[in-house]
Structure 1
Amino acid sequence: MERMDDNPSTTKYTLANPHLPGEAYDQITDMQLWELFKAGDKKAFDSIYDRLFQPLCGYGDKICAEKALVEDVIQDLFISLWTRREHLGGTDSIKFYLFRCLRRMLIRRVQQEEKRGNAYSFTSGISFQLELSAKATSTTISDIEEERKKVLNQALHKLTDRQREAIYLKFYNNLSFQEVAEVMEIGVRSVYNLVGRTIDILRADFKKTNPDAELASLPMLLTLLSACLEYA
């Protein structure tokens, strides 16, 4: 790997020597990391695995309650990535790329298992489980009384599976509307509609319990959602 520019903010890399010092893998863009991985850099592959294994488990566990099956599919995903790396396309968001792959693989695997008579906590439309985290570390959230968290949790249970999945991908994993649409295999307009209806439901529930509540405002509600959604 050769540096083309000594300025870290503008450093460019070539594949002349596809290896970097360990800490450097955290300092390059997703696009650069992905290209190194595709070129056969094992450390780049390890970096992707270490960075995204837990987020993938968190997403997969919300689709299927069978944790062992989820982890098995994730392992299959990474094996497939490594063996097919030279034939993969590019990406500037590895999390988005892997979330999309995992969802497809997991749905296909669960459907195959169900045909064999193995029943899992899953429906054809996706049964997306979502709860508030018991460990809210954000200072914004730690100051919110339990009653308000309870209201939000109750509101989340009123949402459809697709609404819960959309807000999880959008607000907790910071995917764009376009990326959410591609992961869920629906149109972008549908994602806007899902998120819009979700926000309306959540705001309405907060206003019922306290019409003057600061959390009924959109910015505070989105902050609460981002900080409180359970990670895994």
Structure 2
Amino acid sequence: MQIEGNHDYFLWKRIKSGDAEAFQELYNLYADILFSFGTIFTRDHELVKDCMHDLIFDLYKYRKNLSDNDNIRNYLFKSLKRKIQTSGKKSLRLVYSENLTSESDNLHDNVDPDELDEQQAQMSKVNCLINELPEKQREILNLKFQLEMPYHEIAVIMDISVESVRTSVYRSIKTIREQMEGQELMFLFIFMKKSGKIV
């Protein structure tokens, strides 16, 4: 078992025992990344925060029934995703292109004005192409390029094989590249990076 796994294992044991400090440590460790993950599925940031708080409360309420766990992050991701998707909100949907556009706006401050129009046109086309991808592929792209998650963690969250994750990423990029007619796609991966945290 790796060091991270050991840390998660003992933190989880403390949570199962009802250690209040363990719950605070859990929140401090994972709040930012959970929030970023939750905003993949909905624009409603308050809903994400509510689901996060409900998740922590449920952990405390059902702590005696929790199974052993040495990968807390994956457990929290899967649980939060399930809570958001079962929240009853009809407006829930992936917000990939909106996140992408927001990130590109931040980068425009350092762009030569002569290049801005062309970059905006490329960005608009990329957004349209991403929106045409199947929802599952858009979600995998979010996890891979915005949250920078490794393939094996994405596989756990999506309940698919690592090979399926790799294939999905490859097909998504291939589809976009073909539609962009050979244009440089490096900017795509820069804009895919998401930097927001809970304030």
When normalised by structure 2's length, the TM-score is 0.71
Distance 1:109 1:128, change over 3 A: same
Percentage of pairs with the same residue? 25
Matched, 1:35 2:10: yes
Matched, 1:52 2:35: no
Q: Kindly provide the amino acid, as one letter, of the partner of residue 149 in structure 1.
A: M
Higher relative contact order (CA 8 A, sep 6+): 2
- 1:151 alignment counterpart: 125
Distance 1:142 1:51, change over 3 A: farther
Which structure 2 residues correspond to residues 168-187 of structure 1 after superposition, within 5 A? 168-187=142-161
Q: Distance in 1 between matches of 2:137 and 2:128?
A: 14
- In structure 1, the gaps of 5 or more residues are 1-27, 111-118
- In structure 2, the gaps of 5 or more residues are none
Deviates more, 1:52-61 or 1:189-198: 52-61
Equivalent residue in structure 2 for 1:98, among 70, 73, 76: 76
Q: Is the 8 A contact 1:178 1:188 kept in 2?
A: yes
Q: Secondary structure at the match of 2:102?
A: coil
Equivalent residue in structure 1 for 2:91, among 121, 144, 150: 121
Equivalent residue in structure 2 for 1:165, among 109, 124, 139: 139
Distance 1:188 1:226, change over 3 A: same
Provide the alpha-carbon RMSD of the alignment: 3.5
Structure (1 or 2) with the larger CA radius of gyration? 1
* Structure with higher helix content: 2
Q: Kindly provide the amino acid, as one letter, of the partner of residue 174 in structure 1.
A: E
Q: Distance in 2 between matches of 1:73 and 1:193?
A: 31
Q: Distance in 2 between matches of 1:33 and 1:185?
A: 21
Q: Is the 8 A contact 1:99 1:183 kept in 2?
A: yes
Q: Kindly provide the amino acid, as one letter, of the partner of residue 168 in structure 1.
A: N
Shift of 1:103: 1.3
Shift of 1:34: 5.2
Q: Kindly provide the amino acid, as one letter, of the partner of residue 73 in structure 2.
A: K
Distance 1:223 1:137, change over 3 A: same
Shift of 1:199: 0.8
Which structure 2 residues correspond to residues 200-215 of structure 1 after superposition, within 5 A? 200-206=174-180, 208=181, 211=182, 213=183, 215=184
Q: Distance in 1 between matches of 2:170 and 2:197?
A: 23
Distance 1:88 1:157, change over 3 A: same
Q: Distance in 2 between matches of 1:138 and 1:30?
A: 36
